[in-house]
């Protein structure tokens, strides 16, 4: 059953909707957008190790840094790994940002339409209709092996721990 959980944005409470996923849980399938008119299911990446980086908006400093960092890391992880960044930004804004930032190793997907990812992964911020900063590592068998949902939206995730979780599955 879904339950609301309170986290913060600059110390002010925000509510996350959806389940609190933990390592060992089966990774939910969710529908996100590749473009304004093209849906993709997360199950399309089944059979690969997935690092899912959830960010509120690519147009903010921490989200920008987080996505750039995972883009750099993706170059060293090999073909068995896919790095997905999911935000509620419109797909056109994501494409513009990726072009300007030179981000080309991360698959950037949008949750703007239905917040399906946010609701199924427990990162939908009720007050803002954005996805909370979080990192999920999912193995080839669709089992979640690492979860970090930030308590404070403006903080960086533990990049080293997330990459170590991915490498432990290689």
CA dihedral 167, 52, 98, 110 (to 10 degrees): 160
In angstroms, how far is CA 140 from the centroid of its own chain?
Answer: 17
> Per the residue annotation, which of 58, 63, 74, 82 is the catalytic one?
63
Residue 118: what are its φ and ψ, rounded to 5°? -55, -40
Inter-CA distances, 112 with 36, 51, 134, 149, Å? 10, 20, 17, 19
Is-catalytic flag, 98? no
Residue 20: what are its φ and ψ, rounded to 5°? -95, 95
- As annotated, the active-site residues are 63
């Amino acid at each position: 059953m879904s339950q609301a959980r309170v986290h913060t944005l600059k110390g002010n409470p925000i509510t996350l909707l959806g389940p609190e996923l933990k390592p060992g849980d089966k990774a939910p399938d969710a529908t996100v957008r590749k473009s304004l008119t093209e849906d993709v299911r997360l199950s399309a990446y089944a059979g690969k190790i997935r690092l899912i980086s959830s960010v509120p908006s690519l147009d903010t400093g921490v989200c920008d840094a987080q996505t750039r960092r995972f883009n750099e890391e993706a170059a060293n992880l090999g073909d068995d790994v896919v790095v997905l960044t999911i935000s509620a930004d419109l797909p056109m804004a994501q494409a513009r940002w990726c072009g300007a930032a030179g981000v080309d190793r991360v698959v950037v997907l949008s949750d703007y339409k239905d917040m399906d990812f946010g609701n199924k992964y427990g990162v939908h911020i009720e007050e803002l209709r954005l996805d909370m900063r979080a990192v999920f590592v999912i193995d080839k068998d669709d089992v979640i092996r690492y979860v970090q949902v930030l308590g404070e939206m403006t903080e960086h995730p533990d990049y080293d721990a997330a990459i170590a979780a991915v490498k432990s599955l290689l």
